Amino acid sequence: MLEDAVDAPGRRTGPLLIPLLTAEAARRPLLVTSFDAALLSGLRDDLTGVPLGLLTWMTFPAGHAVAAAAGLRLQAVAMHNGSLPLEPNPKHRPAEHTVGVAHKAGLDVLIWCPEPAEVAGYAAAGVDGLIVNDVPGCVAALTAS
């Protein structure tokens, strides 16, 4: 992606991915996420009907993530679990509040890298999807809750 800053427009990540993403979107439901908001904006015209989501880095402020994704007219925001802590914290609004605002803005909320001990809390907060490393552990935690 660094080379996107200097490559010719037709050799940048977005244009190179469009044929593959178009084929996959015809084959199955697809969500395209990226840390690069410019890439997502560029894909919007060529991937009509494919939901796009802003992927934010670790501890990126949840409020900024939701506002940015909504401002970019995306369909989802995918935040690291460090951006949306479940425990009460005077520096963060409750996860339920942030998820509620995102939903009011028309966004699905995904959390990436939650620990098994956190997944039930994120489910209770109303997140729409979890991107996990420990699938068996997270499934077991959700089944036990």
Domain 31-144 architecture: Alpha-Beta Barrel (3.20)
Bridge partners (DSSP) listed for residue 129: 110
7 with 32: CB under 8 angstroms? no
List pLDDT tens digits, range 32-80. Answer: 999 999 999 989 888 989 999 999 999 899 999 999 999 999 999 999 9
Query: What is d(CA 145, CA 124) in angstroms, rounded to the nearest whole number?
Result: 10
Q: pTM of the entire structure?
A: 0.91
Name the nearest CA neighbour of 138 among 117, 109, 122.
117
Mean pLDDT of the chain: 93
Domain boundaries, the chain: 31-144
Q: Rounded to 5 degrees, what angle do the CA atoms 131, 133, 134 make?
A: 115
